[in-house]
Amino acid sequence: MLPMIFVGFVGYEARKRGWAWTKPDTRNMYVEGAKTLITGSGIAVALLASSSVASARTASPLVAFSAKVAAVCLISCVCLFLAVILALLRGYERAWSRNQERMSAAGQGSTNEGKLSTAELTLILVPSGLALSTFVSGFVFLGRIAFHF
């Protein structure tokens, strides 16, 4: 729940203060963060799948349930963050293009930034909040397994 509140606050400030502008440096920073969480989730799922926790030989039903929930959450995290990366890349391109058109029409020079529309920002923030929530939930369930071995 906390990641969704954080992401909601980011969206609120972007609308209220006009902080929806993006440029290549910020886009790249967020893409790198998403790739890091994709890597972390992928490694955790691979370790979980290769361990005896994920096998049918697991004695405790609680451990087996926790392993399944953790795997589903972490795999969902990977898929959602892939969508976030695509939304970040395409959102930046659209925002930059709109800003270029506006500046060209006004006879001004070129820039490397653009303002994200509400829809673009929403398409970035909603999957981000869900992905962060599934990432945290997946690791909470992995931690739960360690306490029940």
Per-residue pLDDT averaged across 112-128, rounded? 94
State residue 122's pLDDT score.
94
Residue 149: which pLDDT band, with cuts at 50, 70 and 90?
low
What is the structure's pLDDT at 54? 54
The tens digit of pLDDT for each residue in 74-101 reads 999 999 999 999 999 999 999 999 999 9
pLDDT tens for residues 19-48? 899 999 999 999 999 999 999 999 999 988
pLDDT-derived band at 129 (thresholds 50, 70, 90) equals: very high
Distance between CA atoms of 109 and 92, rounded to whole angstroms?
A: 19
Per-residue b/e over 109-146, b at no fewer than 16 CB within 10 Å?
Answer: eeeeebbbeeebbebbbbbbbbbbbbbebbbebbebbe
Q: Is the dihedral of CA 142, 140, 43, 66 positive or negative?
A: positive
pTM of the model: 0.86
Range of lowest pLDDT (14-18, 22-26, 119-123, 143-147): 143-147
- pLDDT band per the 50, 70, 90 thresholds, residue 60: confident
Residue with the larger pLDDT of the pair 105 and 127: 127
